[in-house]
Structure 1
């Protein structure tokens, strides 16, 4: 099934449905902002995602796509390492009597803000085309969610 999916550039619709379980964090239970949404996909979907991620990361590493300044989600480039390197850079600057400025950004719901058409266009620019690009288009579009509260499923 995985090989057929990749060969045809199509991600099966039945694997695109997530079951979302709202888990209360704190505060008023009547406010949606006080819930963390846990999204569950089928185990088969997760296996395919891990295989594809592995292949994409290998491709991007081979193409030297990642910047030395990129951290998180890359093996050996944790966000802890980013903090460590920032502390060293700031300390060195201050010890050399230089002005030091730092800006940190936290993009709330960053993944929810990704424009799929722009992402696919960028994938073409780095060399992902044809059936592989169509597979990603299929994978990223037509997603569905069902909400589960207790034993009730929407």
Structure 2
């Protein structure tokens, strides 16, 4: 029965409305209890919603991997990839370039609280 529901959801591209409901609770990250910026929202979902999401995620990632959708330079949100593997690849690239006598130029950007400082009117047109 669950397999049928999940397959129907996947083939139709629809997520059942019943599973979309959540209870949002504020969770203190750190610091002063009276400052709203010290909290982050946590959504409490129905367990079936989490199971369906995981099944869909696994199917999609398996398909994208099988079709070689991801670039070899993609490190975020992939199994066995992380900031550590990104730094390793970057270090290897720089070392090989320097060893070959090539010039290397780098630029690093601090994206701390990037979403908080972004223009949300830009995101409004996406949804």
Give TM-score scaled by structure 2 length.
0.72
Q: Give SS of 1:20's match.
A: strand
Pairing partner for 1:108 from 85, 97, 114: 114
Please say if 1:61 is aligned against 2:73. no
Please say if 1:75 is aligned against 2:115. no
Higher relative contact order (CA 8 A, sep 6+): 1
Q: Distance in 1 between matches of 2:100 and 2:89?
A: 17
Question: 2:92 matched to which residue of 1?
Answer: 88
RMSD over aligned Cα, in angstroms? 2.7
Change (3 A) 1:8 1:94: closer
Q: Give SS of 1:80's match.
A: helix
Change (3 A) 1:3 1:92: closer
Question: 1:27 matched to which residue of 2?
Answer: 31
Question: 1:134 matched to which residue of 2?
Answer: none
| Structure 1 stretches of at least 4 aligned residues deviating more than 4 Å after TM superposition | none
Q: Distance in 1 between matches of 2:86 and 2:70?
A: 14
Q: Distance in 1 between matches of 2:22 and 2:107?
A: 36
Question: 1:17 matched to which residue of 2?
Answer: 21
Per-residue deviation, residues 83-125 of structure 1 (Å, max 9, x unmatched): 1111222233334443322234538349x95934xxxxxxxxx
What's the offset of the Cα at 1:7?
4.6
Structure 2 unmatched runs, 5+: none
Structure 1 unmatched runs, 5+: 117-154
Q: Distance in 2 between matches of 1:57 and 1:8?
A: 18
Change (3 A) 1:17 1:73: same
